[in-house]
């Protein structure tokens, strides 16, 4: 047996993933949410987790530095990483939207779009034959239309509270988002037994949870 390395993006998905792993009998006794450690091991089950910045998870997995990763569909879409996207974990649900001031006409002229996700934004508009200019921001994207930096934004929305409090409205919905389990292609092929057993166990737990809270 070799260790399976799992990359987790620091932030909202970590605790949910850890408790999901716990359901599978995989336990990182040293882990608590205040810890500064970046690597945790479960030597009994040969599982190791590494905590990385969420946007880097697809890179770690695509390059084989981690065999498996847990990442939001938003980050995965933006990265375009060449990996297997095998399980929809069913948590971290939100959606990609175009948002702006209520009276904005999205079809009038070439739009200026502020976003943390330039690839997703370009792809969405270009697929419909609409050209846009993208301004890449790293946070507080809602501010951009308010201060005249952009016409609208492309961002993920969970409840819509932030948008509402800043006077923005959802103008178009792009696609739903949830946490995904991604797998490095070489790991899946060269260590099939171990990785596949892990995936089957995980899928069984998720199915059970879905039956209990539909």
Partner 1 sequence: MQLLSQIVPEGVTDLLANDFDRKEQLTVKIKQLFRENQFKQIQTPIFEYYDLFSEMKGTIEKDRMIKLIDTDGKILVLRPDATIPIARMVATNYKDAAPIQKFSYVTSIFRMNDDPQNVQSREFTQAGVELFGKAGIEADVEVISLAIESLKQVGVKAFTIDIGQANFYKALMEPIDLPMEEMAVIEKLIEKKNFAELTAAIGNLPIGMEYKQALQTIPTLCGEPKRVLEQAWNIAVNNEMKAEISQLKEVYGHLVALGYESYLSLDLGLINHLNYYTSIIFQGYIPGFGKPVILGGRYDSLTKQFGYDTKATGFAIYIDDLMLALHNIG
- The contact set with partner 1 (CB under 8 A) reads 59, 61-65, 82-88, 183-187, 189-192, 196
Structure tokens that stand for 129 in this block = 């034959």
Q: Least distance in Å: CB of 126 to partner 1? A: 13
- Which residue number, 141 or 206, has a Cβ lying nearer to partner 1? 206
Q: Least distance in Å: CB of 165 to partner 1? A: 32
Say if residues 173 and 158 touch (Cβ distance below 8 Å): no
CB atoms within 10 A of CB 162: 15
- Which residue number, 24 or 87, has a Cβ lying nearer to partner 1? 87
Structure tokens that stand for 212 in this block = 């209990």
SS3 149: coil
Number of alpha carbons in the 13 Å side-chain half-sphere of residue 36: 0
Residue with tokens 């092929």: 189
Nearest to 45 by CA among 202, 187, 203, 206: 202
Q: Least distance in Å: CB of 108 to partner 1? A: 27
Q: Least distance in Å: CB of 191 to partner 1? A: 7
- Which residue number, 84 or 91, has a Cβ lying nearer to partner 1? 84
- Which residue number, 156 or 182, has a Cβ lying nearer to partner 1? 182
């Amino acid at each position: 047996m070799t260790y399976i390395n799992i990359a987790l993006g620091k932030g909202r998905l970590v605790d949910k993933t850890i408790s999901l792993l716990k359901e599978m009998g995989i336990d990182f006794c040293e882990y608590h949410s205040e810890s500064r450690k970046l690597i945790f091991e479960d030597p009994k089950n040969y599982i190791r987790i590494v905590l990385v910045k969420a946007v880097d998870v697809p890179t770690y997995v695509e390059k084989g530095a981690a065999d498996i990763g847990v990442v939001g569909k938003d980050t995965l879409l933006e990265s375009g990483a060449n990996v297997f996207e095998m399980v929809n974990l069913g948590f971290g649900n939100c959606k990609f939207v175009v948002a702006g001031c209520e009276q904005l006409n999205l079809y009038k002229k070439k739009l200026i779009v502020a976003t943390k996700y330039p690839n997703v934004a370009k792809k969405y508009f270009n697929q419909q034959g609409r050209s846009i200019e993208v301004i890449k921001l790293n946070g507080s994207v809602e501010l951009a239309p308010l201060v005249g930096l952009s016409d609208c934004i492309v961002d993920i929305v969970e409840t819509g509270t932030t948008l509402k409090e800043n006077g923005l409205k959802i103008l178009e919905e792009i696609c739903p988002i949830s946490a995904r389990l991604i797998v490095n292609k070489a790991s899946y092929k060269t260590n099939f037994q171990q990785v596949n057993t892990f995936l089957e166990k995980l899928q069984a737990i998720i199915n059970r949870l879905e039956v209990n809270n539909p």
